[in-house]
Every structure is written in C-alpha cells, then in structure tokens.
Chain A
Amino acid sequence: MPARLVALPLAATLLLTGCAGRGSAEDDAVGDTATTFLAAAASAPQSGCDLLAPATLDQLRSDDEDCGDAVSAAAPKGDIASTPPTIQVYGRDAMVRWADQTLFLARFDDGWRVTAAGCKPRGEDLPYDCTIEGR
C-alpha cells in the first residue's frame, strides 16, 4: 500500500527528529553541566569559565570583564541542590530553570557549554535578562 510506504518513513522521521536531543540521557548531561557550573560559580568561579561557550567567553573579553568575577556574580542565592531543576532540551540547545536562576546551554563536540547564565525572565515573549551572555 502506498500509504504504508510513506507512513513508515514519516513515523521514523518523527521519532528521529521530533524527539531528537530529548530524553533522560541528554537531560542528565545538561543538568550535570548546569549544576557543575553553578557549584563552581559559588566556590571556584575561575573553573566555571571552562564551562562557558566560546562566544560567551569572547563577549566577556570584548566587554573587558573578568571571567571569574562574572561567573561569581551568576552564583545562585539559594540552595540549588535541594530542588531539581526543570530541564528542556531541543536538539543542541537547552534551558535549565531553578526558582531564581536560569541557564541556557548549547552542545558542542566536547560536551554541553553554558551560553548564558544568571538569567531572569523579563516577561512573556521577551528574551531573558542575563548577567552573562554571548553575542
């Protein structure tokens, strides 16, 4: 049947693409990077710089900001360990939300990197306001 011939590849496409980048393994990797970054921001900010995306580091440099100071400023105010974050992953892009802290991440060949941190919502349909962000 022609319908079956087309429907099967369509279903496979849906599984491959609609759900691409989703799932617990990817969520865990994103969550680990985000948690490690915020832990570094609170205790060893300079090491948090290693988890920033290249364009985000470039932006800090071009703004003459010290990376360690910027990462330290993005440290969470409360205890993030006790509340699991909301993790949303779509392809190579991800957002991780705690009650008072949101991070944006992107996947590179060597793992997930933080593209923006210290983000707070500004209103519906508006970009988040972040203390650290790339271009």
Chain B
Amino acid sequence: MRRLRDHGLALVFGGLLLMALVGQALWGLAGVNGDARDKGLQTIGLGEYLTSSSFAVDIAENWQSEYLQFLLFILLTVWFVQKGSPESKPLDKTGRESDEDQKVGRWAQPDSPRWAVVDGWRRSVYSHSLGLTMLVIFVGSWSAQFIAGHASHNSELIRDLKAPEGWGQYALDPDFWSRTLQNWQSEFLAVATMVVFSIYLRERGSPESKPVGEPHGSTGVEG
C-alpha cells in the first residue's frame, strides 16, 4: 500500500494514459469505419485499426509535440527566467551553474547518482540525460508521424482517385505541417500560460504552485 502511495503520481497518469488510449482507439475506429461506409468500402476490426497508419499518425502527432514541449521547457529554463514564476529558477541563476550548485564531482553527496560523481563522458552524458531522452523520443515520434502520416495520407488520396505522393512531396504537404503545427502551437500556449498564470494564481498544496501566501514577486519558489 505504501509502495502504491509512493508511486501514485506515475501510476495515476499511467492509468489515465491507458484509458485515453482505449477511448481514442474505440472512437477512432468508429470514425474510420464511418468514412469507409460512406464510400462503400470494407469496415475494419479493432486489431487492424490498431496497426493502421491512421491510428499511428494520430498517436504520434500528439506524442511528438508533448516531448518537444518538455524538451524546450527543460532547455530554455536553463537560460531564460520569468520573474515571479515558480516554473523559473531564481533570476540570478541563469546558465549551467557551478559544479558545487549541481552537486557533481567532489561536491557530490554520498547518495548522489554514481555517474554524477565520476569524471569524464559519463558525467557529461548524465548531466544532459533528461534533455537527450526527451530529444530522442521527440525525434522518434515526429519521424513516426511522418512515416505513418505519409501512408495514411496516400491512402486517402487514392480513395479520392488522386495519385499518391512521394516522401519529398509529403515533407512539404499541408497534411504533415498542419498536423505538426496545430499541436506545437497548443503546447507552446500551455507552457506560456502556466509560466505566467502561476505568478499570480495559486493551487494550495500543489508543487506546481507557489504557497498561497507567497508574494507575486517571488521567483523559483514551489509549494
């Protein structure tokens, strides 16, 4: 029971992810089968839909934008600050900070991660492991969106009695860029509003908010 409580945040979001995926699969299947019936084509089952380019592109276009959002948030908050926001670090701490501040090498603590203690490439890699992981997932999911989107778009073109596109054509196609940018803009909006709203607004008990009584001008203070 205590283990569940200690990992509750990850478990709850994992559960929400699964429920949302199930919902997306069922409603998405209903959508593609509705289109198929309208055109007098064969409807498909859930298994075929889950391995279809149509399902994959819808998943990947959202994943890539989420990981881009976190990648940019992680990197840009190294150098950019926002006065009064709990999402920002203190105004005088911009940059990569000192080894002492980052608790690496001889300033490491007894229970610091081992790669933070050792010198050389392992510490360099570990010092950027969060950003690198987000970058890898972003590039992977954006590539997945491109490949699955190409197949899905060409399937629709053929249904409309049009010639399918090559990779180069799809790289400039409105379908690829509207899927990409409609997700990017919403992520950038969400981050910008979170950074600014949290200067003036509070959620008691949330670490994403400043304490309720904390002045608006306090920066880098989390509840």
A interface residues with partner B (beta carbon < 8 Å): 1-3, 6-7, 10-11, 13-14, 16-22, 53-56, 58, 88, 90-95, 104, 106-109, 115-116, 119, 121, 125-128, 130, 133-135
Given A13-B144, A18-B53, A55-B40, decide whether A93 and B159 contact each other with a Cβ distance below 8 A.
Answer: yes
How does the 8 Å CB contact mask read for B147-158 relative to A, with 1 for contact and 0 for none?
110111011001
Interface size of B by CB at 8 A reads 36
Q: Is the CB of A17 within 8 A of B159?
A: no
Residue B211 CB within 8 A of the other chain:
no
A7 CA / B38 CA spacing, docked (Å): 36
Closest to B44 in A: A92
A-B residue pair count with CB separations less than 8 angstroms: 118
B46 CB → nearest A CB, Å:
14
| Chain B residues within an 8 Å CB radius of A22 | 151
Stretch from B12-20, B109-117, B161-169 contacting the other chain: B161-169
Within 10-52 of B, Cβ neighbours of A (below 8 Å) are at 39-42, 44, 51-52
Q: Is the CB of B161 within 8 A of A127?
A: yes
21 A-B contact pairs sorted by A residue (CB < 8 Å): A2-B133, A2-B137, A10-B141, A11-B140, A13-B56, A14-B147, A17-B52, A17-B53, A17-B147, A22-B151, A90-B152, A91-B151, A91-B155, A93-B158, A104-B161, A106-B159, A115-B41, A121-B163, A125-B162, A128-B163, A134-B39
Residue B171 CB within 8 A of the other chain:
no
Given A17-B52, A18-B150, A53-B41, decide whether A126 and B140 contact each other with a Cβ distance below 8 A.
Answer: no
B58 CB → nearest A CB, Å:
11
| Chain A residues within an 8 Å CB radius of B180 | none
B interface residues with partner A (beta carbon < 8 Å): 39-42, 44, 51-57, 59-60, 132-133, 136-137, 140-141, 143-144, 147-148, 150-152, 154-155, 158-164
Q: Is the CB of A93 within 8 A of B140?
A: no
Q: Is the CB of A90 within 8 A of B39?
A: no
A34 CB → nearest B CB, Å:
13
Beyond the given pairs A13-B56, A93-B158, 8 more chain A to chain B contacts, judged by CB atoms under 8 angstroms and listed by A's residue number, are A3-B133, A10-B60, A14-B56, A14-B143, A18-B56, A55-B40, A121-B163, A127-B162
Q: Is the CB of B52 within 8 A of A128?
A: no
A127 CA / B158 CA spacing, docked (Å): 9
Q: Is the CB of A18 within 8 A of B147?
A: yes
Given A53-B41, A135-B39, decide whether A104 and B158 contact each other with a Cβ distance below 8 A.
Answer: yes
Q: Is the CB of A18 within 8 A of B163?
A: no
Closest 7 CB pairs of A and B: A55-B40, A18-B147, A17-B56, A93-B158, A127-B161, A90-B155, A90-B154
